[in-house]
């Protein structure tokens, strides 16, 4: 029994349970609901103010032209990809693989040599 003399005989103590958590107070639902209603009303007022203000574009002409060209190129890429069928894509890929040198092929390995 001397082996168990050092064992703790009290209940298991868990974090957040007991005296520490008893100090926390629960919020009342009435205050939360009133606060939510106020937020909804203020957000609606903010939306009305935002719609009244006109959007001012702060980009430079070069930035605007850059964005337009990017959109144009992106549309061209999308149309180019949409115009090809799967069969055409596979044929193009095979042609590309044929043009590559055999340097990229996996060499044959033989145990006899």
Each residue of 79-99: pLDDT tens digit?
988 888 999 989 998 898 888
pLDDT, greater one: 4 or 53:
4
pLDDT of residue 45: 72
13 pLDDT exceeds 90? no
Most confident of 50-54, 68-72, 105-109: 68-72
pLDDT of residue 53: 63
The answer to whether the beta carbons of residues 64 and 57 sit under 8 Å apart is: yes
20 pLDDT exceeds 60? no
Give me the long-range contacts of 72-80 (CB less than 8 A, separation at least 24): none
Token pair recorded at residue 90: 């596979």
106 pLDDT exceeds 50? yes
């Amino acid at each position: 029994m001397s082996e168990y003399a050092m064992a703790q005989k009290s209940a298991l103590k868990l974090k957040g349970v007991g005296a520490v958590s008893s100090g926390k107070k629960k919020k009342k639902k009435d205050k939360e609901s009133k606060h939510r209603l106020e937020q909804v009303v203020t957000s609606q007022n903010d939306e009305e103010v935002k719609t009244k203000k006109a959007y001012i574009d702060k980009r430079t002409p070069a930035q605007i032209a850059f964005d337009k060209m990017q959109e144009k190129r992106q549309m061209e890429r999308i149309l180019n990809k949409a115009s090809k069928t799967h069969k055409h894509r596979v044929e193009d890929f095979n042609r590309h693989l044929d043009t590559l040198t055999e340097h990229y092929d996996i060499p044959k390995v033989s145990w006899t040599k």
